[in-house]
Structure 1
Amino acid sequence: MPVVRNPEDFDRNSGSFFERLVFNHRPVVIILCVLATIFLGFHASRLTINASFEKTIPSSHPYIRNYLDNEKELPGLGNTVRIAVENTNGDIFDPHYLDTLKKINDAVYLIPGVDRSWMKSLWMPVVRWTEVTEEGYNGGPVMPPDYNASPDSVAALRRNVARAGVLGTLVSNDLHSSMIIVPLLETDVRTGAPLDYRAFSHELERTIQAQQSSGVKVHIVGFGKLVGDLMDGLAYVARFFAVSAAIATLLIFWYTRCVRSTVLLVSISLLGVVWLLGLMHLAGYVLDPYSILVPFLIFAIGLSHGAQKMNGIMQDVARGTHKYVAARYTFRRLFLAGLTALLTNVVGFAVLMVIDIPIIKSMALQTSIGVFVLIVTKLILIPVMLSYVGVSKKAAARHVDDAQAPKRRKINELWGKLDRFTQRRWATATVAVFAVIGVAGFIGSLNVKVGDLDPGAPELRKSSRYNLDDAYITAHYGLSSDQFAVIVKTQPNACASWANLVTMDNLAWSLQQLPGVQTVVSLPGIIRHVTAGQFDGNGKWQTISRDQGLVDSAYSAASVAMPDATNQACSVVPIVAYLSDHKAETLTRVLDAVVAFGKKHNSDDVQFLPAAGSAGIEAITNLVVKSANRSVLLMLYGAVIVLCFITFRSWRAVIVALVPLIITSVLCEALMVALGIGVKVATLPVTALGVGVGVDYALYLLSVQLGLQRRGVSLAEAYRKSVMFTGKVVGLIGFTLAAGVITWAWSPIKFQADMGILLAFMFIWNMVGAVVLIPALSHFLLPDGLWARSAGEQSTTGPNQTLERTRKADDRPADRTARLRSAR
């Protein structure tokens, strides 16, 4: 393209129809963008932060449907908060402690969102004791109805606790704390809106703090509290977002040394985030602890594409081209490559929508919306704005005049030496090294685990208050918070039949033998205990009698003592296995045993269905994540292959672009193994995100390289020019994004720290693969003379032919400086 110093000498009707539409109506484009910013900015300010329990689970999976269809019959086996109230100065039979426990219990009972009918504690009448005396059955609430803090009433409470069998469940083994079990509703009964977990968590804290007294310490676990803590930690996420943006700004300025273009680039990148947040609110979405990272991802992708546009304009301005003409030249050169890269990102993120977990589907859709926003803000708005603002001539001159910038000359010489990787010796060594690294990474990735690998909540640090509370409850209670519940469905009023009880008892016994199972609580076990009680506690009667009359009598007593052991219709019975941890191996072991048992014993009379309880739901989630992990990668790479082939029109070029991405994905999984990070809801999208961003590097580099090779330029020269035109910016963006996200490693939210480490690794390796492995692979797959073998390919046009025309235009007789600029 010729150098045009005066915009009046430029043919404004040249270029494509879309280019003329944009640049011949620049004021209209800017006004439309301003109006869109005002409108979407208003809606972005109204975006709320919340989470949903059901959105974190694969709600359409058949096993989860079993739980959702019977949710009302299974109180306390889904979304439940557990509050352990500890007496630090004695045991639970201290009147002062009991008074404080009552105040906390009554206050929590009134918090909106609590399912009050199934709330349990020593002060709730639903918690009962039973015994068999010579006069018959005797029982009542564990807390004596006439309790008055006197020694006699405290002694009565002590006897009732012993008779109720709540030691290790509602009362700690050391008698120093007791539990308040708080099932939650998914909606706020006052408004009908989804329960605001952040507000619930804050209200819970305020309520407990208002009633708490000296000598009493409270420990809280459960999904509602976990999400509340995560959303409180989102303030830290915003801080790290600001730090990442600041680092990106400084590095971009270090590269350009142009204040105006740097500010413009970062501002429009942030503008894309504002548009995304506004569109999310219009679409009815909210920010949750997982999708909060989507805005930064859109900022990062936008920064990558914007830097390429700014770099192209800066090079044209340095050659003497007017800023308006330079903006149009850059638009012509890079619009199609940038559009293809962004569409590849959209497809890559959209692939995640096949995963049967609503929160991942929504994150994928939100990211795809954000990438569509970038098509306007980065591919159109940045060139239009730079056509007005331009770049500093001094900064532009630094990019082409080595005599004025000796340090930059050395850097450019270093970049120029990358063409050595197109030589056989360097290419062979590079391919061999990457092959060894790839094989080693693949072997390591075979050990990647699915699910959580640590106790407690892996989303938070081990030192977090939530995980310390979880550790306390696990250590002091015989039954952990990891419940795996099997849903047993029978005909109405048939749950207590002898045959069904025996089959249920066999399953409970089978689960009890599995490693990782602490104990199993089931209706048959309760009936055994009650039956023995009917015969003076004789151990010989610890059985399920064939006499249906005895069974019915025991069932009547059991349903009074433990009303949640079955539903009122005696058609749904939970068999609850309490697990020692929620590691993937433990959950898989239990789930496999339940599924195998069900296949063998399911009939029209009785069905054994997985699964409910926190551990049961997590087991199904792990199952979905495991099956989706590989299929998502295959679909993602399939989409990338198709789009790259459309762009390059060469299967050889597709392989060159794809191999570095595959190696990076394999090494990412190997890194997860080394760091003890499992594949789960929080980390499953990372590989797709890394591939979506990494493919941009290959598209920009290869599109320039192939455009020149098809015009007859040698591979070494074509790669050298592509590096000088787009490769340096690829390196800059790779380091910029990695430097930004690596700061997440210090986040108090562990899954954000994990994502930061993994994304930083993938950004760096994708960049290294693009600038080192692409030329090495090109030596073997895209050698000199390849395009000359086909006249059709020789005449093929592409989005970057203009680079060759620019080279020819600049080859006219000129002074030495102009020739040096042309060489670059």
Structure 2
Amino acid sequence: MSKHQQKPASFLERLIFNNRPAVIVLCVLISAFLFYQAAQVRPQTSFEKMIPLGHPYIQKMLEHRNDLANLGNTVRISVEAVDGDIFSKEYMETLRQINDEVFYIPGVDRSGLKSLWSPSVRWTEVTEQGFSGGEVIPQTYDGSPASLEELRDNVLKSGQIGRLVGNNFKSSIIDVPLLESYPDPKDQGKLVPLDYQKFSHELEEKIRDKYQAQNPNVKIHIIGFAKKVGDLIDGLLGVALFFAVAIGITFVLLLWFTRCFKSALAVVCTTLIAVIWQLGLLKTLGFGLDPYSMLVPFLVFAIGISHGVQKINGIAIASGEATDSLSAARMAFRQLFIPGLVALLSDAVGFVTLLLIDIGVIRELAIGASMGVAVIILTNLILLPVMISYIGISKKAVKISREDAVRDHPFWRLISNFAHPVVAPVSVVIAIVALVGGVWYGQNLKIGDLDQGAPELRPDSRYNLDNDFVIRNYSTSSDVLVIMVKTAAEGCSTYQTLSAMDQLSWTLENTPGVQSAISMVTVSRQVIKGMNEGSLKWETLSRNQDVLNNSIARADGLYNADCSVAPLLVFLNDHKAETLSRVVAEAESFIKENNKEGLEFILAAGNAGIEAATNEVIDQSETTMLLAVYAAVGLMCLITFRSIAATLCVMLPLVLTSVLGNALMAYMGIGVKVATLPVIALGVGIGVDYGIYIYSRLETYLRQGLSLQEAYFETLKSTGKAVLFTGVCLAIGVATWIFSAIKFQADMGLMLTFMFLWNMFGAIWLLPALARFLINPEKLRNKASA
């Protein structure tokens, strides 16, 4: 027995193992309650949870939410005529039915619903008698050839071509603004939050499936935040399948590793209990599962398996020296509880740093992951050894463990050369070269989305195909940046205001990545031209206030009730990070020079404005979060080992992993965004486990007087095989995500696979090389003898 194993039992050890029945009963009672709670967990999210509410852009957008009609959370339904164009009786009737069907879907802001059938969609023309106009679809419409010809004329005069009507006249759009919460008629008008998954299913069943089956000449395309989130939730329900596959793979590998069915089953069961407890606690605290935190249960399972393997490995080794299973469990608990506790606390503290990011879904992910780590302390560090103390480990596993303890392993002897005085400097030089190369290539890493459409989904997903259709067939894209122009009441129509808006529009329209810009200026110029016989030389702003007042009277929806806020809509080619940065920089430069008392340009609303704000928050938070993760994990290691050298041995391989992870993301074209940012913290948090377990055992052998290489060989024989097994096992399990229909899950699977493997390899390869330069074995031996 090692000197560490011969220490007297601590109070916690005596409390647990002297009251094993009470521990089991307590866990059963907790499980019964949390299992019930976990069964009620449902996928849920909200628009506001996905955006950085503390960012000035978002705060201004919410402040003026009532002044920005249809510029928030909207869905666009494009109804395409497969053969012919939209000017047919059958198409227009189908469009009317879809418009009416959508109107009654719960969660739709019915006052803002807009399509060709909406009375607010009007046409205007200039005649000898002045302006005339009316509804695009008049009250006299009856589907006859004459009325269809009238409809065609009205559409041409409406200014809706490229907006509500496709450029090729083969499709039209229904704009569907949504409410974050709405009165539930089934529950006495009580406000209920919008269920994105249910809403998405209603769009599929009541709109797409129903009307495409009813009219084969119609094809329906649906885009918008709510539809994207609904598709994400549907796709992420496939996580359950990947989770089951991961459990199966893990169990088979555990059987191979432990050679004991009982202990393999105990590890899997206690880890699944931890997952259920985590889900139950989420429900108890009022949280649900959103598209991004649905991956947390697997991370909890991964961390639990990691620590469970270490426990079983420790108990198997101790069984070779102990007289019974209880003694073996206590010996392993005595040796591994503190390293395991430190590793888990480091995980938890690392996850908590995600709270620094002001985005609701990331903060909920941090809370969920931290709770998961907390319950692993109870299930895998306490409940598992108590269970093994009852059921024991098979004689075959104990026999193999005893044989492994005495025989010379050629593989581990080879790996121990990483601590050799000649090999260690080479390893450090390779690590430095890799670090420099990773930092250099990692400069190509971008913040935000790098592709059109929804990068969270596959390029060939139905949503992205729908989005591509809208981009190709309409002049105004679905990526809209809204700049709010704020004045005193009745001040938005002054020449000073309109002239400044005109200058900003011109500046942005000449910025790469911008399709067009629309504001009340656009309408004013057209109306003034119309009032002057359509002469192009009059297509400008008048300095006569009466003319200006008359010209904006038809700019419905482009200013608020008291003419104090007017939105300027900037339609972008896409929402790629570089496009948003370029356009926002131009806008901010103009705003800095032109804002004055009584005239204020405010960024930003629209989905592109929200994306720009999110990118800024992530850009500002990434470095802070990473530094906080390393500071927290480093502090935990420093408190535990009371050695700066030991802390560096554990931390530096993690730093290399983070740098190479960023380089891999840059190479794979994966941007840093809401979906991928947490992976950085998760990778560090989970990876520190390997280093802590290896160093704690290495230090034990060094204190016994062994040389560094021999001490590392003994470490590999005991803990090293568990670390190697855990890294490979978890990487295989998470690699299944790469085949997910959801691209961001596949991206996370790729990144986590890399981090699991590289953290494991870094701990085995680089830690002993660093120890050769940083650790003084003689000093450790002197401390041990003292």
Alignment of 1:732-743 (within 5 A): 732-743=725-736
1:41 aligned residue (35, 42, 46)? 35
Partner in structure 1 of residue 299 of structure 2: 297
Following superposition, the deviation at residue 320 of structure 1 comes to 4.7
**CA 1:668–1:146: 2 relative to 1, 3 Å:** same
1:235 & 1:624 partners in 2: Cα distance? Answer: 29
CA distance in 2, matches of 1:758, 1:321: 44
TM-score in terms of structure 2 length: 0.97
> How far, CA to CA, are the matches of 1:670 and 1:720 in structure 2?
32
Distance 2:351 2:277 in 1: 18
- The structural deviation recorded for 1:713 is 2.8
Quote the Cα distance in structure 1 between the aligned partners of 2:163 and 2:663.
40
Percent same amino acid among aligned pairs? Answer: 49
One-letter code aligned to 2:194: L
Give the distance between the partners of 1:647 and 1:712, measured in 2 at CA.
21
Aligned pair 1:728/2:730, yes or no?
no
Q: State whether residues 710 and 787 of structure 1, in contact with CA within 8 Å, keep that contact through their aligned partners in structure 2.
A: yes
Deviation per CA, 1:696-723: give whole Å up to 9, x if none: 0010111111233234332122222222
Match of 1:654 among 647, 653, 666: 647
Cα shift at 1:133: 2.1
2:63 paired with 1:69: yes
Equivalences for 1:134-533 in 2 at 5 Å?
134-190=128-184, 191-208=190-207, 209-212=209-212, 213-401=215-403, 412-533=409-530
The answer for the alignment partner of 1:90 in structure 2 is 84
SS at match of 1:189: strand
Aligned residue number for residue 769 of structure 1: 762
Which residue pairs with 2:187 in the alignment? none
Cα-to-partner distance string for 1:22-74 (whole Å, 9 max, x where unaligned): 11011111101001111000010111111211111101111110111111211
User: In the superposition, relative to structure 1, how do residues 500 and 2 fare at CA in structure 2: closer, same or farther (>3 Å)?
Assistant: closer
What CA deviation, in whole Å up to 9, does each residue of 1:493-519 have, x standing for no partner? 111011011111111111101000011
Aligned twin of 2:748: 755
Q: 1:781 to 1:144 in 2, by over 3 A?
A: same
CA distance in 1, matches of 2:704, 2:628: 34
- Alpha-carbon distance between aligned partners in 2 of 1:249 and 1:610, rounded to the nearest angstrom: 53
Matched residue type, 2:211: Q
> More deviation in 13-22 or 750-759?
13-22
Which range is displaced more, 439-448 or 775-784?
Answer: 775-784
Query: What residue number does 2:700 align with?
Result: 707
- Native 8 Å contact 2:703 2:777 kept in 1: no
- 1:600 aligned partner: 593
Mapped to 2, the partners of 1:774 and 1:321 lie a distance apart of 35
Instruction: State the Cα distance separating 1:533 from its structure 2 match.
Output: 0.8
2:561 is paired with a residue of what secondary structure?
coil
The aligned counterpart of 1:617 is 610
What is the 5 A alignment of 1:558-637?
558-559=554-555, 563-637=556-630
Residue 645 of structure 1 pairs with residue 638 of structure 2: yes
5+ residue gaps, structure 2, are 185-189
**Could you say what secondary structure the match of 1:42 adopts?**
helix
Contact persistence 2:107–2:194 (CA under 8 A): yes
Q: Structure 1 residues 163 and 724, CA, compared in 2 at 3 Å: closer, same or farther?
A: same
Q: Is the 8 A contact 1:416 1:724 kept in 2?
A: no
The aligned amino acid for 2:154 is: N
Aligned length: 777
Matching residue within 23, 29, 48 for 1:54 = 48
Offset at residue 321 of structure 1 (A): 3.0
Match of 1:683 among 676, 680, 683: 676
**1:234 shift after superposition:** 2.0
Q: Is the 8 A contact 1:64 1:611 kept in 2?
A: yes
User: Does the C-alpha gap of structure 1 residues 318 and 711 become closer, same or farther in structure 2, counting only changes over 3 Å?
Assistant: closer
Give the Cα–Cα distance (whole angstroms) in 2 for the partners of residues 143 and 786 of structure 1. 89
Go from structure 1 to structure 2 and tell me whether the alpha carbon gap of 1:55 and 1:795 turns closer, same or farther (over 3 Å shift): farther
Give the secondary structure class of the aligned counterpart of 1:46: coil
- Deviations along 1:168-218, one digit per CA (max 9) or x if unpaired, are 010000000000010111113214121000100111111113334120000
C-alpha distance in 2 between matches for 1:710 and 1:527: 84
* Structure-2 separation of matches of 1:402 and 1:705: 18
Task: Measure how far apart 1:490 and its partner are.
Answer: 1.1
Comparing 589-598 and 544-553, the one that deviates more = 589-598
> Residues of 1 paired with 2:318 and 2:647: CA distance?
30
Deviation at 1:308, TM superposition (A): 0.6
Distance in 1, Cα, partners of 2:322 & 2:410: 23
Q: 1:400: Cα distance to partner?
A: 2.4
In the alignment, the residues of structure 1 paired with residue 403 and residue 348 of structure 2 have an alpha-carbon distance, to the nearest angstrom, of 39
Q: Which stretch of the first structure deviates more once superposed, 345-354 or 317-326?
A: 317-326
The question of whether the paired residues in 2 share the 8 Å contact of 1:14 and 1:20 is answered with no
TM superposition score normalised by structure 1: 0.92
Q: Deviations over 1:540-589 (max 9, x none)?
A: 21111000010011111x23xxx211111111111111111111010011
Whether the aligned pair in 1 keeps the contact of 2:513 and 2:572 (CA below 8 Å) is yes
* Aligned residue identity for 1:700: Y
Look up the equivalent residue of 1:91 and give its one-letter code: D
Q: For each residue in 1:632-668, what CA deviation from the matched residue of structure 2 results, as whole angstroms up to 9, or x when unmatched?
A: 1111111111111111111111111111100110000
Q: Distance in 1 between matches of 2:22 and 2:625?
A: 41
Mapped to 1, the partners of 2:706 and 2:323 lie a distance apart of 25
- The DSSP-based 3-state class of the residue aligned with 1:50 is coil
Q: CA deviation at 1:417?
A: 2.7
Native 8 Å contact 1:219 1:469 kept in 2: yes
**In 2: Cα distance, 1:371 partner to 1:416 partner:** 34
Amino acid at match of 2:546: G
Aligned to 1:800: none
Name which of structure 1's ranges 74-83 and 349-358 shifts more when overlaid on structure 2.
Answer: 74-83
2:709, 2:285 → 1: CA distance? 49
Number of the residue aligned with 1:117 = 111
Amino acid at match of 1:159: D
CA-based RMSD of the aligned residues comes to 1.7
Q: 1:524 to 1:239 in 2, by over 3 A?
A: same
Structure 1 residue 786: Cα displacement:
3.5
SS in 2 for 1:188: strand
Between the aligned partners of 1:76 and 1:699, the Cα distance in structure 2 is: 54
Letter matched to residue 669 of structure 2: G
Kept in 1: contact 2:114–2:176 (CA 8 A): yes
CA distance in 1, matches of 2:229, 2:613: 20
Alignment of structure 1 residues 534-573 onto 2, 5 Å:
534-556=531-553, 558-559=554-555, 563-573=556-566
Task: Give the residue type in structure 2 aligned to 1:707.
Answer: T
Structure 1's consecutive aligned runs of 4 or more residues displaced over 6 angstroms after TM superposition are: none
- Return 5+ residue gaps in structure 1 as ranges: 4-9, 797-824
Q: Secondary structure at the match of 1:424?
A: coil
Counterpart amino acid of residue 516 in structure 2: T
Shift of 1:795: 5.2
Q: CA deviation at 1:252?
A: 1.2
Written as runs of structure 1 = structure 2, the 5 A alignment for 1:5-16 is 14-16=8-10
Checking the alignment, whether the CA contact within 8 Å between 1:317 and 1:393 is kept in structure 2 is: no
Residue range with higher mean Cα deviation, 710-719 or 736-745: 710-719
2:503 and 2:425 mapped to 1: Cα distance? 63
